[in-house]
Amino acid sequence: MANWCYSSYCIEGDNEEVRSLYRRMKRLQDRRKSLVENDFGKTWLGNLVTDLGSDWKEVYCRGTWSDLGYEKGILRFNTETAYSPMNAVMKLAKSKYPSLRIYYSAEEDGWGVYVTNDAEGKHYPDRYFVESEWGREYFSTMTNVCVYVSGLIKKEVRDEKELRAAIEEWNENVEDIDENITLNEFKVEKDEYLRV
């Protein structure tokens, strides 16, 4: 069984190209029957690969899209895929629509893969998230992480070094592992092909 990777995509570029990709995906998801027989359904990424004129057996496309939307020239959707973002599918889309600038943020908890290609934080500014028994909170700066964790542990931490030490001390002293606090950081990937 695969570890599922949850990704969010934001695509901009020439308005006609962005709208054309949106219409293509919308048409696929609104079909009565899947374009290609599969176990994922109408929003299987392999349907998009096929509709873009390629062979789904040659482009890694294990997963689906959801929450498709188009507003003010920007296409947004989420994917649920095996192990990692399906950037091979996005590269194929870019080969058909060269003006596209494709930004993504992805989380795969099983292997602890947290990545984005949005180096400037234009669409995905969060760089950290904290997991605790109170849930998952996202932050764009280490300063905000420090303030949040200080509130959780009732001890002021001012920088990353103090934060990591305080989280380690907290986790060593809690009685129940469910009370642990975890700091995760998004790695910024240099996937220039998708954004040029």
Q: What single string gives the DSSP state of each residue in 71-111? A: ETTEEEEEEEEESS--HHHHHHHHHHSTT-EEEEEEEETTT
Domain covering 4-119 in this structure, CATH number = 3.30.70
Strand partners, 130: 137, 183
Specify whether the CB–CB gap between 186 and 114 falls below 8 A. yes
**Which pLDDT belongs to residue 192?**
63
Q: Where are the domains of the chain?
A: 4-119, 128-185
> What crossing angle do the helices spanning 160-173 and 142-153 adopt, rounded to 10°?
30
- Please report the sign of the dihedral spanned by the C-alpha atoms of residue 23, residue 28, residue 29, residue 33: positive
From first to last of the 196 residues of the chain, give the pLDDT tens digit.
678 999 999 999 999 999 999 999 999 999 999 999 999 999 999 999 999 999 999 999 999 999 999 999 999 999 999 999 999 999 999 999 999 999 999 999 999 999 999 999 999 999 999 999 989 999 999 999 999 999 999 999 999 999 999 999 999 999 988 899 999 999 999 876 676 5
**Which pLDDT belongs to residue 194?**
72
